[in-house]
Amino acid sequence: MATFALIHGGGGSARDWRLVVPELRRRGHDAVAVDLPIDDESAGLGDCADTVVKAVGDRSGVVVVGHSWGGFVAPLVCERVRAELLVLVTAMIPAPGERPADWWDNTGWRSPGDGDEVDVFLHDVPPDLAADLMAHTRRHSGTADGEPWPLRRWPDVPTRFLLCRDDRFFTPAFMREVVRRRLGITPDEIPGGHCPMLARPAELAERLVGYLGQLG
């Protein structure tokens, strides 16, 4: 049995994973989702990682999963727990010493334009779930965004990247290139937009569990 440590993105919460957690448990695994202290002006990247590490506790067989902004936190967790696998889901991939605030220019990301948040992030999410997510969006302080990513190299943990083919925020062509340059791997792909945990929870859970079978 694996334990999946589920890390939300910017403005998100543990609530974002509420449909994936039971799907993972139905497949015989445990899952832990936490609220990162993103709305705490005193909390940095290390504090975010500490929150996940505390929730994981002494569990072994940990699969760390980072979504979107959570890509800056997930590798830090892998350095502090007994992680067997790191999975990034349409996530930011940090470089050593890079601030999250600088990632956008450093990677050449382009804004999706004038679409509203639902159109950009949640276009394939059922309307009731999209409305619930918008109602529970949390303020994201600038503290962690202004802090350099502290690792000198990528953690020595098998890493997979799951790209969303219909993502309007981190578009497929952009992310394929970022993954190639920063991780040196080819991403796997899933249909759907930026929030597959709400739009395709069963399919996402199946992908996450499937990665376990690829470990040697």
- How many domains, the chain? 1
What is the pLDDT, as a whole number, of residue 213?
Answer: 86
- Choose between 60 and 158: higher pLDDT: 158
Q: What would the mean pLDDT of 13-33 be, rounded to a whole number? A: 97
Say if residue 5's pLDDT is above 80: yes
As a whole number of angstroms, the longest Cα–Cα distance in the chain is 45
- Whose structure tokens read 């529970």? 136
Measured CA to CA, the distance from residue 38 to residue 136 in angstroms comes to 13
Collapsing DSSP states into helix, strand and coil, what is residue 62?
strand
pTM comes to 0.96
3-state secondary structure at position 203: helix
Q: Which amino acid is at 151?
A: L
What tokens appear for 165 in the block? 């083919």
- Between 3-7, 132-136, 198-202, the lowest mean confidence (pLDDT) is in 132-136
Over pLDDT 90: what percentage of the chain? 90
Q: Where are the beta strands (DSSP E) in the chain?
A: 3-7, 30-33, 62-67, 83-89, 159-164, 188-190
Overall average pLDDT of the 176-195 stretch: 98
The per-residue pLDDT for range 39-90, each reduced to its tens digit, is 999 999 999 999 999 999 999 899 999 999 999 999 999 999 989 999 999 9
CATH of the domain at 64: 3.40.50.1820
Q: Can you give the pLDDT at residue 127?
A: 95
Tens digit of pLDDT for each residue in 123-143? 999 999 999 999 999 988 889
- Average pLDDT over every residue of 158-176: 97
Instruction: Give the domain extent around 152.
Output: 3-212
pLDDT of residue 216: 67
Q: Is residue 193's pLDDT more than 80?
A: yes
The mean pLDDT value of the chain amounts to 95
Q: What is the pLDDT of residue 214?
A: 86
The confidence score (pLDDT) of residue 206 equals 97
